[in-house]
Amino acid sequence: MSTIPACPLCAMENTYPDGANYVCADCGHEWPQAALAAADADDAVVKDANGNVLADGDAVVLIKDLKVKGSSITLKMGTKVKSIRLVGGDHEVDCKMDGGSFMLKACYLKKT
């Protein structure tokens, strides 16, 4: 996986470094490589499906039925989850439910 970020203007991944800047080959947009450090600070903010900022200890509701990989368990839409914990990575939310402990993506959650 490339460490070069996608273009912030057109979101295409056809970008390359050029001196102190990154350049998008698709739209021609250039932005400084130093801006990447500022963008990493913004990535720490986790938002739910409606764009509300989530924090540790929040209660959320599932907005979609989710099948648990490698299991016959299905997490049902409308299930309330209390006391979430935010973690890094692709699945940003760690939580405990009746079926066990799960890592969920924030895009399938709604803050209550």
Q: Return the beta strands (E) in the chain as ranges.
A: 15-18, 21-24, 30-32, 60-62, 66-67, 74-75, 80-81, 85-86, 93-97, 100-104, 109-111
Distance of alpha carbon 76 from alpha carbon 98, whole angstroms: 12
All domains of the chain in start order, with CATH? 1-43 (2.20.25.10), 60-111 (2.30.30.40)
Determine the average pLDDT of the residues in 35-60: 78
Neighbours of 79 (CB within 10 A): 14
The Cα 71–Cα 46 span in angstroms is 27
As a whole number, mean pLDDT of residues 83-99 equals: 90
Rounded Cα distance between 97 and 91, Å, is 16
pLDDT, mean of residues 48-54: 93
Q: What is the CA radius of gyration of the chain?
A: 18
The 10s digit of each residue's pLDDT in 7-44 is 888 888 899 998 889 999 999 889 888 755 555 555 57
Give the amino acid at 42: D
pLDDT surpassing 90 at residue 1: no
Prediction pTM value: 0.60
- Maximum pairwise Cα distance, the chain: 53
Q: Which stretches does DSSP call E strand in 4-65?
A: 15-18, 21-24, 30-32, 60-62
